[in-house]
Amino acid sequence: MQPAGVEFTVPEGEPVMRAAQRLNLRWPNVCGGEAMCGVCFVRVLEGAEHTSEMKREERFRLDFVGKGKDDTARLACQLRITGPVTLFKRGVR
Ligand code: FES
Domains of the chain: 16-88 (3.10.20.30)
Q: Distance, CA 17 to ligand 1 centroid (Å)? A: 9
Q: Bin 54: left if φ > 0, else alpha if -120 < ψ < 50, else beta.
A: beta
pLDDT in tens, 17-34: 999 999 999 999 999 999
> Which of the listed residues 16, 27, 31, 89 should we mutate to test ligand 1's pocket, taking the one with most ligand atoms within 8 A of CB?
31
Q: Distance, CA 37 to ligand 1 centroid (Å)? A: 5
* pTM of the entire predicted model: 0.96
Which residue puts its alpha carbon closest to atom 3 of ligand 1? 35
Q: Distance, CA 84 to ligand 1 centroid (Å)? A: 22
pLDDT in tens, 45-80: 999 999 999 999 999 999 999 999 999 999 999 999
In this structure, how many other beta carbons lie within 10 angstroms of the beta carbon of residue 87? 22
